[in-house]
Amino acid sequence: MTEQQRPSPAPQEAPVPDVAERLAAERLFGDRLPLVERYVAHLASSGIVRGLIGPREVPRLWSRHVLNCAVVQEHIAADARVADVGSGAGLPGLCLALARPDLRITLVEPLERRVQWLEEVVADLGLTNVRVLRARAEHAGAEVGEVDVVTARAVSALVGLLDITLPLLRGSGELLALKGRSAADEVHKARKKLDRCGARSTEIVPAGEGLLDEPTTVVRVRL
């Protein structure tokens, strides 16, 4: 069976957060939680059908994806301008926009089908602090405009991610890269490039301590 002949995955019911997940979500999103639930429903339905999320991820949408991304907001200053590179299904960009309406967020995504999905979801949720830009990040500086923070999740290893993201900062600001257990190794491998790029500091910081069972690991690069 060819890729074109293979049927699309079926939409699924949105997962219901367990008690711990709901408590965390209420603290992170407050009265915007109903919007987040709608976003999760989009992920589980059209997000599955259109290939943005794998069907096996549905039971983990709250813990592994939405909450894992939203906690990164604790490292972002008030009223910051944020570019989310390789936004895909809006992770972490849409989660941050839902948690922090004060942020001005540009979702940068090169693939048309993902851009269309993001635009549909942003419109349905009525998010006025988000815009979607179809572009490759390394070529999008003029269109993105000035930003304070660049975020990225599951885009590439840090050594390659620096070439994609740091030019958007124009020499000032910070990169927040969501990483896993490989964070320390990735920083080590990227050390020479970090020095060449003029990084003032690079550190591995947790996000969501005391809120999530497994805090998110973030590599923070400051220029």
pLDDT, tens digit, for every residue of 98-136? 999 999 999 999 999 999 999 999 999 999 999 999 999
- Return d(Cα 182, Cα 98) in angstroms, integer: 28
Assess whether pLDDT exceeds 50 at residue 2. no
- Confidence band of 5 (pLDDT split at 50, 70, 90): low
- Return d(Cα 96, Cα 52) in angstroms, integer: 18
Burial class (CB in 10 A: 0-12, 13-18, 19+), 103: buried
Which residues lie across from 203 on neighbouring strands?
220
Domain ranges of the chain: 19-222
Q: CATH top-level class for 19-222? A: alpha beta
The better pLDDT of the pair 105, 154 is held by: 105
Mean pLDDT estimate for the chain: 94
Assess whether pLDDT exceeds 80 at residue 67. yes
Under 8 Å between Cβ of 85 and 151? yes
Beta strands in 62-215 (DSSP E): 81-85, 104-109, 130-134, 149-153, 174-179, 201-207
What pLDDT does residue 3 have? 45
Q: Which of 170, 131, 176 shows the shortest CA–CA distance to 150?
A: 176
3-class SS shares of the chain: helix, strand, coil, % to 5 = 45, 20, 35
Inter-residue long-range contacts of 160-168, CB under 8 Å, 24+ positions, other chains counted: 162/190, 162/193, 162/194, 162/197, 162/221, 163/138, 164/85, 164/86, 164/137, 164/138, 165/85, 165/137, 166/197, 166/221, 166/223, 167/138, 167/141, 168/83, 168/85, 168/137, 168/140, 168/141, 168/144
Helix pair 33-44, 19-29: axis angle to 10 deg: 120
Q: What letter would DSSP give residue 62?
A: I
Spatial CB neighbours of 210, under 8 Å, sequence gap ≥ 6: none
Query: How many angstroms separate the Cα of 73 from the Cα of each of 123, 136, 201?
Result: 22, 24, 19
What pTM, to 2 d.p., does this model score? 0.94
What are 187-214's pLDDT values in tens digits?
999 999 999 999 999 999 999 999 999 9
- Return d(Cα 105, Cα 128) in angstroms, integer: 10
